[in-house]
Chains A and B, each alone.
Chain A
Amino acid sequence: MADSTQMLKGILDGCILSIIEEGEIYGYELAEKLQSYGFQSFSEGSIYPLLLRMQKEGLVSSVQRKSTAGPKRKYYSLTEAGQVELEQFLGRWAELKQSVDAVITKGGQ
């Protein structure tokens, strides 16, 4: 479990950007989506420091909207810089995946 958490650290940013690309989303919804994709080993709150950093870097923007369930919700959407970062992440991930797959396949032979 601890190992997958360490592995997740480097790729969670890209996964978050990819989910936000689908459309405006708020924190809780984002955490739920990550879990529904199989990310079970992270604490939900760990997305907020990442979202704060991404906002500071101009990768995502946010807007507050009223909610019937309690305090206002902060909805995130992807900026142009975020879109570029996501594309770069997808490229890096494809390369990495290919390399890791190659190593594993060779090892298996």
Chain B
Amino acid sequence: MLSAKSEQFLIELRMYLVQRGRSDEDIQGIVDELESHLIESEKNGKSVESIVGKDPKQYMKSIGASLPVATKELMVLIPATLLVILAYLAYIPALSGAFKLSQTVLWGIIPVILSLAVYSSLIFKVLPKLHAKPVKQGIIAVAVSTGVIGFWVAFYLWMVPETASAYFTATTGQNYVILAICLAIFIAYALYTKSWITIIVAALMSAGPLAENWIPQEVNEDPAYIALAIGGFVLIGIAIVWFLMSKRHKTA
């Protein structure tokens, strides 16, 4: 079993290498090897500093410099990720039958890029440093999310007067075509990255518009059902937090 400090070092190393475009296989290889080394060293009473030196950042750089950049993977992954982002932007309007290209949508790419930059620095730089402090991690994640959502709301309130200027408004048939293209992109990306996350996010995003279509108007606007739904989600949230905390407690 690794100490929290060693675990944190391995997480920071992984994030550092991911950010610098090293291949998953190479990253897994070196992380496994160092984990095995750290386990044996700690059993013999050695500290993580005796393994990686006094400057872990410098050590990460030397590991990064020894691994090749996964150019081929990145040449596919970067355009594919941009395509998925565009698909996410088009998906909900098309699902609601209201896809259109307006100034709001086009300028909306700016907050999307800014949000991605904020979240990637949060995931790759800030959270790994707080590996042993989950409460602090949670507070920072909530604070950043509140800031990002606030920025989005302010941006759209500012852009609302421009929404009338739609360059292109999709017909019902075109909405279905856009929807089918988006779904194909999500499935292809999930197959390429061997991860369900793209599809799960799309499914979660669909819940609102689909529920609006299927749930009768009077039920949708009934305060009792609204309160019931909020209560249900709060309970699910509490259950997930409790499950994660008990899992963490067991592995600690």
Q: Are A70 and B39 in contact (CB under 8 A)?
A: yes
List CB contacts (< 8 Å) of B42-92 with chain A: 43, 46, 49-53, 59, 62-63, 65-68
Q: Are B53 and A52 in contact (CB under 8 A)?
A: no
Spot the interface stretch: A11-19, A40-48, A83-91, A98-106. Answer: A40-48
Contact partners of B103 in chain A: CB under 8 A: none
Please tell me the size bucket of the interface on B.
20 to 34
B172 at the interface (CB under 8 A from A): no
Q: Are B66 and A45 in contact (CB under 8 A)?
A: no
Q: List 19 A-B contacts (CB under 8 A).
A: A28-B41, A43-B51, A44-B46, A45-B34, A45-B37, A45-B53, A46-B62, A48-B37, A48-B63, A49-B66, A69-B39, A69-B43, A70-B35, A71-B35, A71-B36, A71-B39, A73-B36, A74-B29, A74-B36
Contact partners of B32 in chain A: CB under 8 A: 71-72, 74
List CB contacts (< 8 Å) of A26-57 with chain B: 26-28, 31, 43-46, 48-50, 52-53, 56
A67 at the interface (CB under 8 A from B): yes
Interface centre among A27, A49, A72 (most CB of B within 10 A): A49
Question: Which positions in A face B, CB cutoff 8 Å?
Answer: 26-28, 31, 43-46, 48-50, 52-53, 56, 67, 69-74
Residues A44 and B51 in contact in the complex (CB < 8 Å), given A52-B30, A53-B66? yes
Residues A49 and B62 in contact in the complex (CB < 8 Å), given A43-B50, A72-B32? yes
Bound CA–CA A52/B67 (angstroms):
7
- Binding site secondary structure of chain A: helix
Question: Which positions in B face A, CB cutoff 8 Å?
Answer: 29-30, 32-37, 39-41, 43, 46, 49-53, 59, 62-63, 65-68
Q: Are A48 and B50 in contact (CB under 8 A)?
A: no
- Binding site secondary structure of chain B: helix
Bound CA–CA A46/B29 (angstroms):
16
Looking across the interface, which residue of chain B has its beta carbon closest to that of A54? B66
Contact partners of A56 in chain B: CB under 8 A: 66, 68
Bound CA–CA A44/B39 (angstroms):
13
Residues A43 and B36 in contact in the complex (CB < 8 Å), given A48-B30, A53-B66, A56-B66? no
Q: Are A49 and B63 in contact (CB under 8 A)?
A: yes
Contact partners of B33 in chain A: CB under 8 A: 27, 48, 73-74
Q: Are B36 and A45 in contact (CB under 8 A)?
A: no
Bound CA–CA A69/B39 (angstroms):
8
Bound CA–CA A4/B241 (angstroms):
52
Bound CA–CA A53/B62 (angstroms):
10
Looking across the interface, which residue of chain B has its beta carbon closest to that of A42? B53
Contact partners of A31 in chain B: CB under 8 A: 37
Looking across the interface, which residue of chain B has its beta carbon closest to that of A29? B40
Q: Are B53 and A46 in contact (CB under 8 A)?
A: yes
Bound CA–CA A52/B33 (angstroms):
11
Known: A45-B34, A48-B63, A74-B29; 15 extra A-B contacts, CB below 8 A, are A44-B46, A48-B34, A49-B62, A52-B30, A52-B67, A53-B66, A56-B66, A67-B36, A69-B43, A70-B35, A70-B36, A71-B32, A72-B32, A72-B36, A73-B36
